[in-house]
Amino acid sequence: MAHTDPAFSQAEYDRRLAKTRNAMSQAGLDCLFIEDPSNISWLTGYEGWSFYVHQGALIFLDSDPVWWGRSQDANGARRTVWMTDDRIHGYEDSFVQSTTRHPMQDLAKLITEYGHAHGRIGVELDNYYYSAKAHQTLLSELPGASLIDATALVNWQRAVKSEEEIALMRKAARISEHIVDGVLERVEPGLRKNELVAQIYHDAITGVGDDWGDYAAIVPLLPSGTDAAAPHLTWNGDVFKSGECTFFELSGCYRRYHAPFCRSVYLGSPPDQLKRAEAALVEGLEAGLDAARTGNRAKDIAAALAAPLERAGIERGARCGYPIGLSYPPDWGERTISLRDEDETILEPGMTFHFMPGLWMDDWGLEITESILITENGPAECFCDRPRKMFVKP
């Protein structure tokens, strides 16, 4: 059953598969098993909320990938992957959440059928979805194979985006702007946080024009006042209050592609300390954007950001950015490059990052961020276009 509305051309999937096979060859792999839903989708097109059970894709050097997962999800694979139906394999539901059987027993049989029971098989050892029990079972079921750590092998192939991918990120960015515009219009003292989040989700899923909104890989984050010192608090039923700053960490999402966008709002008259922090943060952000050029290193962005903050007496130990693109919960980052002091990765045209220099101090927090594209020439391009500042509302 062919996908009636594929997100990408077959040439795009062929490009991705060729890059992955080249990386596999360099790593000496005969076969690669991926369980990260972002990597599965990137290589096969698979889409579905089924990553709470074991699923994955087998990537070979000389034949099309095989989608593998729960039998009831096989129909979803038939409707979303680009491969033919004979490359879709569903395991019996008796494997699901069983204390006597494990889905990896079925996967081991499949790997054996494809002739790799004694091969060098890459697995994503350090990944949210590949469990210790899964690895233990594969080792037991494939005693003649060598299971090789291939964590992030596919993730690194995703670092430079194609024009087709960038087009989807631009659509996501329009949705991000729409969400932030709605926040700035609605937030006021006395409004309950859950009520605002309901409107955030409405704007995010409604989308912009014909570009409908997908679910983002991270829920809205919006801590206020002293709680803003904690970067990953979500929402509750409390009301927004005068005399507090709230940062909003949000992202539009279109066909699984993200463009995270964070802005902060102060209700009332902000104190001088926060104004000085805002000025230093914006100066550092703009210096980092200028340093985000082809041929520079990831660490150069971090260094450019740090200088104005240090002059203002602000120290931040966290990295200030990460690659973005196609993602599933619980994270919209790609888990490869980090914008921080020790990362020597050379920036290339087509790389995309969330430049995220959030400040989380002992009793306050501030976020002003940009999703960026490394260009052929000149500084980074920002996907979103809204004032780079802390917004103040009476």
Q: What is the pLDDT of residue 58?
A: 98
Say whether both 143 and 23 belong to one domain.
Answer: yes
Specify whether 106 is located in the same domain as 196.
no
Say what the pLDDT of residue 2 is: 59
Q: Which of 134, 157, 180 is the last residue of a domain?
A: 157
From first to last of its 394 residues, the chain has per-residue pLDDT tens of: 556 789 999 999 999 999 999 999 999 999 999 999 999 999 999 999 999 999 999 999 999 999 999 999 999 999 999 999 999 999 999 999 999 999 999 999 999 999 999 999 999 999 999 999 999 999 999 999 999 999 999 999 999 999 999 999 999 999 999 999 999 999 999 999 999 999 999 999 999 999 999 999 999 999 999 999 999 999 999 999 999 999 999 999 999 999 999 999 999 999 999 999 999 999 999 999 999 999 999 999 999 999 999 999 998 888 999 999 999 999 999 999 999 999 999 999 999 999 999 999 999 999 999 999 999 999 999 999 999 999 999 8
In total, how many domains does the chain have?
Answer: 2
**End-to-end Cα separation, the chain, in angstroms:** 56
Q: Do 81 and 219 fall within a single domain?
A: no
**What's the pLDDT at 34?**
98
Q: Output the pLDDT for position 351.
A: 98
Last residue of a domain, one of 129, 157, 185: 157
Domain shared by 206 and 314, yes or no: yes
* Structural domain contains residue 3: no
One domain, residues 206 and 326: yes
Contacts of residue 69, defined as CB under 8 A and 6 or more positions apart, other chains included, come to: 50, 53, 54, 55, 56, 77, 89, 90, 91
Cβ distance 371 to 380 under 8 Å? no
Q: Which one of 157, 180, 196 terminates a domain?
A: 157
Residue 60 identity (one-letter amino acid):
F
Q: Is residue 2 part of a domain?
A: no
The Cα 358–Cα 366 span in angstroms is 6
Chain center to CA of 160 = 14
pLDDT at 134: 97
Domain extent at residue 82: 10-157
The CATH number that applies at residue 168 is 3.90.230.10
With respect to residue 377, please indicate whether it lies within any of the assigned structural domains: yes
Residue 5 lies in a domain: no
Q: How far is CA 78 from the centre of its chain?
A: 25
CATH of the domain at 61: 3.40.350.10
What pLDDT does residue 316 have?
A: 87
